[in-house]
Amino acid sequence: MTGTTTTQAQPRPDLDGDASIRRLSIGPMTLEAGGHLPDVVLAYETWGSLNADASNAVLIEHALTGSSHVARGDSEEEGWWDGLVGPGRTIDTDRFLVVSINMLGGCYGSTGPASLHPDGKPWGSRFPFVTVRDSVRAEALLADLLGVPSWHSVIGGSMGGARALEWALIYPDRVQRCAVIACAAASTAEQIAFAQAQVQAIRLDPQFAQGDYYGTVGPEGGLGLARRIAHITYRSEPEFTHRFGRAAQGAEEPFGSPLPAERGRYQIESYLDHQADKLVRRFDANSYIVLTEALMSHDAARDRGSLPEALSKAQAQFFIAAVDSDRLYWPAQSHELATALPGEVTVHTITSPIGHDAFLTEIAQLEPALHAAFYEDDDDGAA
């Protein structure tokens, strides 16, 4: 389904040491649903070095609005899995080359709706529908260019987990170990429903202009509303009750009687406003739609028979984990995935009151089990 590796004649990029963001053209791609991109560029970061037999490369896949900045490395900016990835950490960058790639369709440097079409104007509304599988096929073309024939391990949470799983299914001989954290075998009806409400919030913003808003303010209100809806699903009711209760913003006390003449704001409203503002400042609305619709498309069994039949193609050792309070990717869905995988696969649990986002904030809980499963000294062949 993808373009050919027409750029493979390029010299292999320098992979030594911690890198700031780099970009490589992987050439043209024809997409799973039929769209075409004449020149795809992927932006990526690396930490550590590739060993002589290229056996120590680890791919880490980011979530929906995440980026390739997994670890701080030499940069000022903290990474979203800093505790997990770095010198001497569970994913030890003194032993492994760690690669993280910004998703096709996103807004952190890889080709996306804000990129320029060959006519010199942004793709905008013309950007084609991409799937999780397209993104993985693009990453495989990049791996070819990086000189990585197979991954020691591919690991991801949430949408990153969907990409990790697809890697193991599309390229079974290129993934030796695969960790799927807080993710399911397919996006469920409820996950699609939450996603559709977010996409509609953006599309219904008058500033959206059918996606051709570049050079204008753009659909900031719609994107902010999408983030509010999403963020509620990323956290939990007990956390919200414990943190905010019915308290008014700027006061520790609940809204009492008499109610203030001005309605004011509940703390939870202020918190959601803040989450929305933060995302609006760092994310492109078209990319939000493209990536959300890609996640809606996630279905490991599509065109592959039953789920166990689909998963039987994988050759990797699997590590599956769930957050016990996740109300978006329910633990039962991780168990369903583990049960359908070949062999005995354990589901590891992150115990947290906060819900789905604990795969980011509480990843340390998985470190002993992940280390034992994938990264013991004598288990990886890494130099």
Ligand X SMILES: CC(=O)SCCNC(=O)CCNC(=O)[C@H](O)C(C)(C)COP(=O)(O)OP(=O)(O)OC[C@H]1O[C@@H](n2cnc3c(N)ncnc32)[C@H](O)[C@@H]1OP(=O)(O)O
Q: Which does 69 bind (CB under 5 to 8 A by kind): ligand X, ligand HSE, none?
A: ligand X
Kindly state the smallest distance separating residue 266's Cβ from ligand HSE, in Å: 22
State which residue, 12 or 263, has the beta carbon closest to ligand X.
263
- Residue of 326, 334, 352, 380 with catalytic role: 326
Residue nearest to ligand HSE (CB): 158
Annotated binding site for substrate: 227, 357
Nearer CB in complex with ligand HSE: 64/289: 64
Q: Please choose which of ligand HSE, ligand X, none residue 115 contacts, taking the beta carbon within 5 to 8 angstroms, the exact cut-off set by kind.
A: none
Separation CA 107–CA 353 (nearest Å)? 31
CB 291 within 8 A of CB 105: yes
The binder of 158, among ligand X, ligand HSE, none, by C-beta within 5 to 8 A per type, is: ligand HSE
Decide if 158 is catalytic.
yes
Closest separation in Å from C-beta 359 to ligand HSE? 7
Q: From the candidates 62, 231, 348, 356, which is the catalytic residue? A: 356
63 versus 338: smaller Cβ distance to ligand HSE: 63
Question: What tokens appear for 32 in the block?
Answer: 């799973």
CA distance 260 to 341: 57
Q: Rounded to whole angstroms, what are the CA distances from 242 to 26, 180, 234, 264?
A: 48, 29, 16, 20
Going by the annotation, the residues of the binding site are 227, 357
C-alpha triplet 109, 110, 113: angle, nearest 5°: 95
Q: Which is nearer to ligand X, 27 or 221 (CB)?
A: 221
Active site residue 326: yes
Radius of gyration of the chain (CA): 21
Please list, in sequence order, all residues whose beta carbon lies within 8 angstroms of the beta carbon of residue 278, skipping any fewer than 6 positions away: none
- DSSP state string for 223-240: HHHHHHHHHHHHS-HHHH
Residue 117 designated active-site: no
Applying CB under 6 A, which residues contact ligand HSE? Answer: 63-66, 158-159, 234, 357
Which residue among 67, 115, 153, 158 is the active-site one? 158
Residues that bind ligand X (CB under 6 A): 62-63, 65-67, 69, 80, 249, 267, 270-271, 274, 278, 282, 357, 360-361
| CA gap 159, 180 in Å, rounded | 9
Distance CA 28, CA 138 (A): 10
CB of 321 to ligand HSE, least distance (A): 14
Whether 183 contacts 162, CB under 8 Å? yes
Task: Give the 3-state secondary structure of residue 298.
Answer: coil
Residue with smaller CB distance to ligand HSE, 64 or 85? 64
Q: Which residues are catalytic?
A: 158, 326, 356
